[in-house]
Structure 1
Amino acid sequence: MSLHGKRIVFTGTLSMTRKEATKLASEAGALVTGSISKSTDIIVAESDAASTAKVLTAKAFGTEIWSEKDFSKALLKAKPKAKAKAKAKGRSPKAKAVPAVKSQHLFLDHAKNKEFDKVMKLVKENAGYVNAQPAGRWTALHQAAEAGDKKVVKFLLEHKADVALQTNDGQKPIDVAKASVKDLLKVPGKRKAAAAGLDKSTDSDCRLHLFEPMSATELAEKQGGWFAGDNEAFCEEGVQHLHMKTAPAEAKSIAQDLQKAVKGAYMPAGESDCAPMVIVISNAGEFTASDAILKALAVLEDVDGEMLHTKVMFADCDFGEMDNFCNTYGDEDEEEEEEDEHTKKLKKATKIMAKSLTDCFHLNFEDGIICAPQVWGGWTEDQKHIVGILGMRVWT
Structure 2
Amino acid sequence: MPHIDPLVYDPKLSLREVVETALANFPKTFVAQAFGEEARAWERRARSVLPGPVALAGNYSGDRIGDNTGAWAVDTELILPLWKWGQRAIAQRVTEKAQQYAEAYRRGLRLEVAGLVREALWEVKLRETEYQTARKILALSERLLAQVRRRVEAGDLPRTDLLLAETDFLKAQSDAVAAEAEWMHARWRYRNLTQIDKAPAQFEEVLSAQSAITPEHPLLTALTLRIEEERARMQYVRYEADVGDQQILLTLGSRHEQVGRGGETLNSINARLSIPLFGGGYQAPNVAAVRTALAEAEAQRGEVHRQLERDLHEAEHLLQVDRIQLKQAEARRKLAEANLELAHKAFAAGEMDLIDLLKVQLMAQEALRDAERWRVQIKRDIARYNQVVGELP
The structure that has the greater radius of gyration is: 2
Q: TM-score range by the shorter chain?
A: under 0.3
- Report the TM-score, using the length of structure 1 for normalisation: 0.20
**Structure in which a larger fraction of residues adopt strand:** 1
Kindly indicate whether structure 1 or structure 2 has the higher relative contact order, using CA contacts under 8 Å at least 6 residues apart. 2
**Structure in which a larger fraction of residues adopt helix:** 2
